[in-house]
Amino acid sequence: MDCHMEDGSGVEQLYPSILNYSDNDNLPCLIRNGINTSKSIVEMVGFPKMTDVEVNNIINYVSNDLQNVKHHQLINETISALEKCK
């Protein structure tokens, strides 16, 4: 939470708020690989060493704890998403 802040509110457009992010299909790849587009002035780092279970935990944490949106991301959903992004 160093970048998006502990409460997910972020820092202006630099480290955008993740409180409204809802594209859960994209999320596993985003977390594992980060983003490096010409749109973002700061590159979002990925976490290649993070396990599938850890990625899954983050997705659940962001939805349920930060966004207060009830969501149960299943590990096999995360794993199949991750296989597609490689």
Partner 1 sequence: MKIINCLVVAILFLGSCKNDPNIKLPILGHQDIVGTDTILHKIPPFVFIDQNENKVDNNTLKNNIYVSDFFFMSCPSICPKVKKQMLRIYDKYEDNDFIKIVSHTIDPKRDTPERLKMYAENLSVNHDKWIFLSGNKDSLLDMAEEYFVAAYEDADAPGGFDHSGKILLVDTNGHIRAFCDGTDPGDVDDFLVDIDFLLKEYEIQ
What residues make contact with partner 1 under the rule CB under 8 A? 2-5, 11-15, 41-43, 45
What per-residue string of b and e applies to 46-64 under the rule 16 or more CB within 10 Å gives b? eeeeeebeebbebbbebbe
Joined together, the tokens standing for residue 35 give: 């983003």
CB of 49 to partner 1, least distance (A): 13
Which residue is it, tokens 């939470």?
1
CB of 40 to partner 1, least distance (A): 9
Q: Which is nearer to partner 1, 45 or 75 (CB)?
A: 45
Q: Which is nearer to partner 1, 43 or 65 (CB)?
A: 43
